[in-house]
Structure 1
Amino acid sequence: MKLYHAPFSPFVRKVMVLLHEAGATGRVTLVPASGNPLDPGTMPVDRNPLGKIPALERPDGPTLYDSRVICRFLDDQLKAGLYPAAPRLWDTLVIEATGDGIADAAVLMRYEMHVRPEPSRSADWAKAQWGKIARALAALEARWMSHLSGPIDMGQIAVGCALGYLDLRHAERDWRGPHPALAGWFAGFSSRPSMQATLPPG
């Protein structure tokens, strides 16, 4: 299998953390890909028409995308157990969606302020994306800490990768101050070998 990969993507990192947790990094070949909404660059548009990564090319079926589809597929193939049985499954999926939503808003902020031409940039639009992030962080702090502190699953991995991306691209914003429980959880979770092995370079 080939995984179209960029080390700074929080969505690619999700897949890589799963592979590390499953002890299966050797099952995929990493194919570098880069681009943005204004220039697809080397994104695998012939395999994912949306021009996004991660994308997982399989020898026996169509290429899979996005990260949630890939993670469900790999979890099934590798018997990783990162999607628990119902009823806990539904909480895991909601938390994974929340983590992915944080990451998505953070990536859009990055594009707005660093990819869009300066005359077209909107500080109000970026502020609105941060509003989504702030609401999601507050929900995790208020509702989901007991789940995050339980057995590892894809919800935790998605949140961990999203918070890591906030530190990488939006370090000037203090997400920890208003969310001490979440900050404490992340301090422990980010020390996992799988998270350390997938830190973006530099």
Structure 2
Amino acid sequence: MLSTPLGLLGEISDAAARQGIFKHATPTLWRCREQGQNAFDLNSRELGSPPAEFGAANRMTGKGQSAFYGSTSLQCAVDEVARSADIAFSACSFAPSRPLFHFDAFAVPDPPSPFAEDACDDTQALAFLRRFAETLSEPNTDDDQYHYVPTQLFTEYLLAGPEELRPDAVRFASSLDSQYENWVVFVDNSRCLDAPTTRAGPVRDHVAVTAETASGSP
């Protein structure tokens, strides 16, 4: 019997688990914003995930969806946003309140040849996951609004899939430099907090601003 599309995505997700692509980590993540003409405070509301109504289509989220995109490198966070030397920026670092169960695009192995002696049952799934990881790190142009639709759809499946394989985040390489480590954490603006905080709600579901901030020009 042929698998349904959802069945195929489930098989791919299971293969990712078998291959050790799901991991736990507690990264410190920088997020940057152009200063523009209107001043804003360096706090979680202003530098955290955008409110849903301002959420633009991105690598793993569609228009109107809120998520936290950040980098472990301040320089990368700045370069991703302030693309020219005359643009002023402000940045904050954030830390998750617990280790993030995440899909690690850096950990996707190259699929073996189907004719190789060590070829495994996951060969086709690994080919899909390798292409998924590569697409996450490809630059996009404003005139190609559908470039990330495939990665958005697979991410949507992961977030709606079996709870034991439902990631808090995805770790992937920057489109500017593959050595840079970028993350998307699936928290909206209400779950980005200033630390220390007494805001009500489950602590395990938040990212919080740390003491580190930065302002300047690239």
TM over 0.5: no
TM band (smaller chain): under 0.3
Higher RCO structure (Cα 8 Å, ≥6 apart): 2
Bigger strand fraction = 2
Report the TM-score when normalising by structure 1: 0.27
Larger radius of gyration: 2
